[in-house]
Amino acid sequence: MEIIGFTFDVLGKIMIAFTAIMVHYRFAKEHKIDEKVFSEMKREKIIGILGIVFIIIGYLLQLPGKL
Domain ranges of the chain: 2-66
Look up residue 31 and give its DSSP letter: S
CB of 20 closer than 8 Å to CB of 48? yes
Read off the pLDDT of each residue in 9-38 and give the average, rounded to a whole number.
86
pTM of the model: 0.79
- Judged against a pLDDT cut of 90, whether residue 66 lies above it is answered with no
Beta-carbon contacts of residue 23 (< 8 Å; ≥ 6 apart): none
Over the stretch 6-18, which tens digit does the pLDDT of each residue have? 999 999 999 999 9
Over the stretch 37-65, which tens digit does the pLDDT of each residue have? 888 888 998 999 999 999 999 999 999 98
Query: H-type helices in 1-67, by residue range?
Result: 2-30, 35-66
Predicted local confidence at residue 30, as pLDDT = 76
